[in-house]
Amino acid sequence: MKRYSIYILLLNLFWLSSCDEDFMDRYPQTSISPEEFFKTEEDLRLYVDGLLSLPDMYEYQEDQASDNMATTGAIEIKNIMTGSPNSQNITSGWDWTRLRNINYFLENSPNADASPEAIQHYEGLARYYRAVFYFEMVKRYSDVPWYDELLNPSDEELLYKGRDSRETVVAGMMEDLAFAAAHVWEDVPSGTPGNWAVKTFYARVALYEGTYRKYHDELGLQGSANEFLTLARDLSKEIMDSGNFSLHQTGNPGSDYKALFNSQDLSGNGEVILFNPYDLNKDKSSNINYTVFGTYEQSPSRDLVQTYLMRDGSRFTDQPGFETMLYVEEFENRDPRMSQTLVYPGWVRAPEPEAFIPILTRNFTGYFQQKGYNNTTENIALGSLDFPVYRYAEVLLTYAEALAELGSLTQADADISVNLLRQRAGMPDLQVSQANAQPDSFLSAKHPNVNGPMSGVILEVRRERRVEFAMEGYRYDDLMRWSAGELLENIPEGMYFPGLGKYDMTGDGIEDILLIDKDADIPLDPQKEINSLGKMLIYYKAGTVDDNVTVYMENGSQGGTLVTETTERSFEDPKYYYRPIPIQQVTLNPNLEQIFGWE
């Protein structure tokens, strides 16, 4: 217990000692020195356990930055596209405290009285955490200072050096991940990263960097893209060949997918490579139901709805009149994952006995998310859902995408990767030759830089990623690495209504809501119309964003899609794929020059 207390004090002192001018300083000059702490394998474990930082349920909010969601939140990329961004008003992200804590461990861990295997295991975990740290920095800034050692306050040359190149930083990350993949143990405590989790992340980074270099001409690194794509292919195939993981399926395509996101125990799930465990009884709550489901801050976009295929594998956007389909029509005969991700007509919300009627609200789309929502009123169940950090599904799609981008995806490859996901969902297989022979024109228009003989299957793998990982926080990074940022210029739209009048929202053929003109008054309850079920219709005043109404519509009383906002967006390429270093940091260290037009 004494040793644990020393560890806590030591790490807290590192956090408290953080400041801009000495962000890479050595350990604080206190009564606790590294010689007193790093003595045993238990010390190494305690310290590395303190570095554990896993994505959590709030990842379901990360899609607010993408075209999967409309949002009323102050999302950075939205503010950038609608404002006047510069290094004075974009100041988050430049925090090096965590790196210092990691490097402090790596400098002192070899001194412990432990076996070489144990020391290498914990060093591997620390280097994995360092790679995770730098991955976020590279995604945000591209070129950043690379530090793989602690610095002394007198090391001014290093403390005040400029940015290292992306190539240098990524090479350091990949070296760290290679070491971690070779030395981190498979058998680790539940909820902490083991060898296969490290390799999953390693493959993720390789795919990201490979596609980023391929599609971002401004870097001039296209020649090295295939090296990373090949590594992503090989790492994912190694995980697949291990036989340790399989997709979660019980033979029920209508619920197997959803079960991954409303489970109170993912420890025995064969698809989950790493999870973040929650237990309200242990004061660790996962409950964010108010955000995932409801009229707070975020709502799914119609563009996401249109991405899902039909149940027979045909394209929804090939259906005649798909642009003007109503909510109930949109959900008919679609990929079963759609109704396990979004609230569908006829869905019943506990504890209500009757079908939920979607709530139409200004600035929202009318669609509701149920992925990650626990449809119960039991408090323990609400707050005790585990979060899947790394899923085997990602490994399969990494493998498929890497091969497609390399131009070598075969039908056999698709059958052991993307088609396993489609089969779990009860969908027909992806046919590689057919996809390449007839690329989806709807997706091609969104990704004009995808070309060549594999363009059709690349687009279909991208569709599969969007569908499989909807609301899990993948989409924004995918758009960035594909150089598809201009898609974010499109303001998210909501449900379509052809005009004023009554509409069925539950799929039973009986009207539930009534849209009235902006100049009309919503009557008091006794005067409201009653439907054939004896239920009072829900009234909405429809108009434009300039009207005093309860829902915004594209053409006001003439109908159209629900409008979430009207401020014009502009994505500046390549500038907005990156962020400026905060002006305070450049003032402290003039060697940190801005790049890609930032000031």
Give the pLDDT confidence of 485-522 residue by residue, as tens digits: 999 999 999 999 999 999 999 999 999 999 999 999 99
pLDDT at 11 over 90: no
Tokens of 506: 């539950």
| b (16+ CB within 10 A) / e for 380-398 | eebbbbbbbbbbbbbbbbb
Condensed to tens digits (0 to 9), the pLDDT of residues 205-253 reads: 999 999 999 999 999 999 999 999 999 999 999 999 999 999 999 999 9
Q: CATH 1.25.40.890 region(s) of the chain?
A: 2-53+94-222
Is pLDDT above 70 for 6? no
| pLDDT value of residue 557 | 94
DSSP designation for 542: E
Give dist(CA 286, CA 262) in Å, integer.
Answer: 11
- Report the predicted TM-score, pTM, of the whole model to 2 decimal places: 0.95
Of 93, 91, 99, 92, nearest to 24 (Cα)? 99
Residues 543-567: what's their mean pLDDT? Answer: 97
Mean pLDDT of 555-574: 97
- DSSP output for 555-567: TGGG-EEEE----
Residue type, 122: Y
Taking the mean position of all CA atoms in its chain, how far away is CA 580? Answer: 22
| φ/ψ of residue 299, rounded to 5 | -155, 140
Would you call 118 helix, strand, or coil by DSSP?
A: helix
Q: What is the mean pLDDT of residues 357-373?
A: 97
Q: Are 47 and 107 in contact (CB under 8 A)?
A: no
Other beta carbons within 10 angstroms of residue 446's beta carbon come to 20
Question: Reading across the β-sheet that carries 538-543, which strands appear in turn?
Answer: 501-503, 513-517, 538-543, 551-552
- Phi first, then psi, for residue 170 (nearest 5°) are -65, -40
Task: Please give the backbone phi and psi of residue 541, each rounded to the nearest 5 degrees, phi first.
Answer: -90, 125
> Do 291 and 60 touch, CB atoms closer than 8 A?
yes
Q: Distance of alpha carbon 288 from its chain centroid, rounded?
A: 16
Query: Where do we find the tokens 């490097």?
Result: 103
Position 22 scores a pLDDT of 39
CA angle, 374 then 377 then 383, to 5°: 55
Q: Rg of the chain's alpha carbons, rounded to an integer?
A: 26
pLDDT value, residue 33: 75
Q: For the residues 65-87, what does the mean pLDDT come to? A: 98
**Can you say whether residue 544 is alpha, beta or left, with left for phi > 0 and alpha for psi between -120 and 50 degrees?**
beta
Distance CA 438, CA 448 (A): 15
With beta carbons less than 8 A apart as the criterion, state whether 436 and 453 touch.
yes
Helix axes 166-183, 195-215, angle to 10 degrees: 160
The pLDDT tens digits for 240-289 are: 999 999 999 999 999 999 999 999 999 999 999 999 999 999 889 998 88
Find all residues with CB under 8 Å of 351, minimum gap 6, and list them.
377
Structural domain 2-53+94-222, CATH architecture: Alpha Horseshoe (1.25)
The tokens describing 264, both together, are: 């109170």
Q: Assess whether pLDDT exceeds 50 at residue 577.
A: yes
Best CA proximity match to 177, nearest among 143, 206, 146, 218: 206
Q: What is the pLDDT of residue 26?
A: 39
Q: What is the mean pLDDT of the chain?
A: 94
The 3 state secondary structure assigned to 484-504 is: CHHHHHCCCEEEEECCCEEEC
